[in-house]
Amino acid sequence: MSDIAIRVENLSKQYRIGGSQARYKTIRESLTEAVQAPFRRLSSVIRGQSSAATNETIWALKDVSFEVKRGEVVGIIGRNGAGKTTLLKILCRITEPTEGQAEIHGRVGSLLEVGTGFHPELTGRENIYLNGAILGMKRVEIERKFDEIVDFAEIEKFIDTPVKHYSSGMYVRLAFAVAAHLEPEILLVDEVLAVGDAAFQKKCLGKMGDVAKEGRTVLFVSHNMGAIQRLCPQAIWLEEGAVKEIGDSAAVCEKYLYSDVGFGSGVYTFDDGAGHPVRFLRAELLNSKDEPTSTFRADEPIKFRITYRLAREFSGLSVALNIRDALGGSLWGVSDLDFFPELFEKRQPGTWVYECVAPANVLRPGIYQLGLGAGSGGQYFHHPANPPIFEVNCVGYWRQSYRYFGVSGGPIAVPMKAKKPIVVEEVAD
């Protein structure tokens, strides 16, 4: 037996937009139209009118190809309108492709939108049995899973109420419970989970992880990059109906998140923060040659030169740098007081320059943010709204044996170097 669960080859889907939706016709109307059609076309030619359709068309999908093996969990990401939901609808046989083909090998359970596959007049109990029957399950199999489904959905009190009276959250709870527990070999899940509350979303993500561990195939569409990276080793990035990239989910998500962001020259100025007693003015990211850049080799140190302004004298002030991953999660932070505790006593007003160096071979290839902040005695001052963004690539020698930022389990300590902050300009009275 083939180990391929889903095979998509040159899949395309075209939609016509801008025209009115045709109503359903009776057999008599259809036969009459068929007889009259040649005469209408002839009349159009005589009057010099084009018989071609004037409605505009768009390609929701264009030449999409990929394979998903049995037991794989694959995320699908992309902007709204990129074709993600259209792809799932074709895989579920809700709509037919215009070109290409999609092969599904296994029983499919899907959750594409609120209430998919539910009959509004039937109760929750009846819809569970209906969905099981559609999946080809025997009644005894459904009964074995029934209590587990109801417990997961947390709607036992309303299980015998017609689902047309359910809220959208209740719909999603029951729909996901049915899709995940009736043992489909392939589970297709759209962003519909966003309707549920935070606790239920967490519960659903945990269940999808369990489904994956059981060796079933999962195709998961989401705008939650953290969930994609936790659940899906692989990701597919769709852009304007076409496959932009397929690969490791962490790398693909990083490129997607920063696809519209220019990394810049390595010199960043901050326009916000006016009126703060502590204000960051400038950040420079320098390579091993002391040149400003936003792209670094993994085997070279990175120097951060920070310029900030104090409007008055300070005691107990801490100026901190924080390196974050592409999702904004804090990986490691350091304060200038870690290096120079004597600064705790007093800092005079003026414009200060502070340099800190991250050693080579601690940042694995990827995209990072540099967070900046200042605080004193529990009071926090200016935090630039747009943190500098930089990239570490694998050009050059990168020793994999080194401990690096980004490992699970939180921040790690590395032997940083720093130059004592100096005041370069006095504040005018």
Enumerate residues 6+ apart whose C-beta is below 8 A from 134.
117
The enclosing domain of 225 has a CATH number of 3.40.50.300
Closest CA to 75 of 205, 229, 185: 229
Give the dihedral sign, CA 40/41/42/47: positive
CATH of the domain at 286: 2.70.50.60
Q: Specify if 40 maps to a domain.
A: no
Domain boundary among 257, 291, 324: 257
- Strands 108-111 vs 186-189: parallel, antiparallel or unpaired: parallel
In this prediction, residue 2 carries a pLDDT of: 72
DSSP H stretches of helix in 232-290: 249-257
Domain boundary among 208, 231, 257: 257
Taking the model in full, what pTM does it have? 0.66
- CA-wise closest residue to 229 among 131, 327, 137: 327
Tens place of pLDDT per residue across the chain (429 aa): 578 999 999 999 998 876 555 555 666 667 677 767 776 766 666 666 554 444 588 899 999 999 999 889 999 999 888 999 899 989 988 889 999 999 998 888 777 765 566 788 899 899 888 878 876 778 888 888 899 888 888 888 899 999 888 887 788 788 878 877 777 788 888 876 665 667 777 777 787 778 777 888 989 888 888 888 888 899 999 999 999 999 998 888 888 887 776 677 899 999 887 788 999 999 999 998 999 999 898 888 999 999 999 999 999 999 999 898 877 788 888 889 988 999 898 899 999 999 999 888 888 888 899 999 999 888 888 888 888 899 888 654 444 434 444 433 334 456 778 888 888 865 443
286 falls within a domain: yes
My answer on whether 403 and 314 are in the same domain is: yes
Q: Are 381 and 277 in contact (CB under 8 A)?
A: yes
The verdict on 248 and 351 lying in the same domain is no
Q: Which domain holds residue 130?
A: 4-12+64-257
Same domain, residue pair 78 and 189: yes
Classified as helix, coil or strand, 266 is coil
State which amino acid sits at residue 40.
Answer: R
Residues 306 and 374 reside in one and the same domain: yes
pLDDT at 399: 45
163 and 310 inside one domain = no
Regarding whether 275 and 206 lie in a shared domain, the answer is: no
Q: Look at the chain and report how many structural domains it folds into.
A: 2
By CB atoms closer than 10 A (0-12, 13-18, 19+), residue 106 is middle
Does one domain contain both 114 and 192?
Answer: yes
Q: Which residue carries 């395309």 as its tokens? A: 12
pLDDT at 190: 82
If asked whether residues 218 and 279 sit together in one domain, one would say no
Backbone angles phi, psi at 190, to 5 degrees: -95, 180
Domain annotation covers residue 52: no
| End residue of a domain, out of 238, 257, 276 | 257
The predicted pLDDT at position 235 comes to: 94
Q: Are residues 143 and 247 in the same domain?
A: yes
Report how far apart the first and last C-alpha atoms of the chain are (Å, whole number): 82
381: Cβ–Cβ under 8 A, 6 or more apart, which residues? 276, 277, 278, 279, 373, 374, 375
Domain co-membership, 177 together with 275? no
Note the pLDDT of residue 278: 92
